[in-house]
């Protein structure tokens, strides 16, 4: 009776909070549900963060901040705008940390778009045509080739879309999951609005813009 709760120590709760940034009560509940298994508790908290993020996705994000990140001795520079719902949240250390991490990730991983929906029809068609030609050239039947292409397109999204990329500081989560965790902690919708990435010697620069999700009503 109550052995699971008794086995959850304050030190475990503290460790989970430091690892995930989730509120103390959420950490305790996750550890209780996971019967003290730290890794399982992390998974539970991530799922909760994604669930909370989905519920808040339609809420307007008109506040936020712009951050810069300079990397590699001044050879790579990033500007990113991340939005939230209130100026209060925008000024918190948690939000500032998120914006910094996103800017640093963009510098390191060089995404071309913010999210899947921002990939242009022309770029999508070009990549799909290349993958399909490769599959057919390998001798695969048309129906098998099409399935292979679908898998390759998902990998393509992961390579070029910021939200789909594995977070540079923790490859076990994507940028969208990183943001979802902050949404769960801060209680507001958060969205990456746009970013620009410049690299010395490159011709041109990467500029990606996405429109905020329109509210769907109360």
List the single range of 3-12, 29-38, 125-134, 178-187 with lowest mean pLDDT.
3-12
Q: Give the Cα separation of 59 and 216 in Å (integer).
A: 8
Which pLDDT value is given to residue 197?
96
C-alpha–C-alpha distance, residues 110 and 211, integer Å: 20
Its pTM stands at 0.72
Give the closest residue to 54 by CA, choosing from 166, 184, 175.
184
How confident is the model over 32-81, as pLDDT tens digits?
888 888 888 888 877 776 566 666 666 777 899 999 999 878 999 999 99
Q: Using pLDDT thresholds of 50, 70 and 90, give the confidence band for residue 5.
A: very low
What are the domain boundaries of the chain?
A: 3-56, 63-116+161-209, 120-157
Nearest to 80 by CA among 57, 114, 50, 109: 114
What is the predicted pLDDT for the residue at 49? Answer: 66
Residue 192 has pLDDT above 50, yes or no: yes
| Dihedral angle sign, alpha carbons of residues 55, 61, 63, 65 | positive
**pLDDT tens per residue across span 119-153:** 988 998 998 888 888 888 888 887 788 888 888 88
Nearest to 184 by CA among 61, 35, 22, 38: 22
178 contacts 98 by C-beta, under 8 angstroms: yes
Would you tell me which CATH number, out of the four given (1.10.150, 1.10.286, 1.10.10, 3.30.70), belongs to the domain 120-157? 1.10.286
Report the b/e string of 16-41 with b at 16+ CB within 10 A. bbeebbbeeebbbbbbbebeeeeeeb
| pLDDT for the residue 54 | 65
DSSP structure string for 169-199: TEEEEEHHHHHHHHHHHH-S--EEEEEEEEE
Name the class of domain 63-116+161-209: alpha beta
Domain 3-56: CATH superfamily is Ubiquitin-associated (UBA) domain (1.10.8.10)
Stronger pLDDT, 137 or 208, i.e. the higher one: 208
Segment 93-121, tens digit of pLDDT: 999 999 999 999 999 999 999 999 899 88
Separation between Cα atoms, residue 98 and residue 192, nearest integer Å: 10
């Amino acid at each position: 009776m109550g052995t699971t709760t008794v086995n959850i120590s304050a030190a475990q709760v503290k460790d989970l909070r430091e690892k995930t940034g989730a509120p103390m009560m959420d950490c305790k509940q996750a550890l209780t549900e996971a019967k003290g298994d730290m890794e399982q508790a992390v998974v539970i908290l991530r799922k909760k963060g994604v669930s909370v993020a989905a519920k808040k996705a339609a809420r307007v994000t008109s506040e936020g901040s712009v951050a810069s990140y300079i990397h590699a001795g001044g050879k790579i520079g990033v500007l990113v705008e991340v939005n939230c719902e209130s100026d209060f949240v925008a000024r918190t250390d948690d939000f500032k940390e998120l914006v910094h991490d996103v800017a640093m990730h963009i510098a390191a991983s060089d995404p071309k778009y913010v999210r899947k929906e921002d990939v242009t029809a022309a770029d999508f068609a070009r990549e799909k045509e290349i993958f399909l030609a490769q599959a057919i050239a390998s001798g695969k039947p048309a129906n098998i080739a099409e399935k292979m292409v679908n898998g390759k397109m998902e990998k393509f999204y992961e390579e070029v879309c910021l939200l789909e990329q594995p977070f540079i500081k923790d490859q076990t989560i994507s940028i969208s999951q990183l943001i979802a965790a902050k949404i769960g902690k801060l209680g507001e919708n958060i969205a990456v609005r746009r970013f620009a990435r410049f690299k010395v010697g490159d011709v041109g620069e990467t500029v990606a813009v996405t429109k905020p999700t329109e509210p769907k009503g109360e």
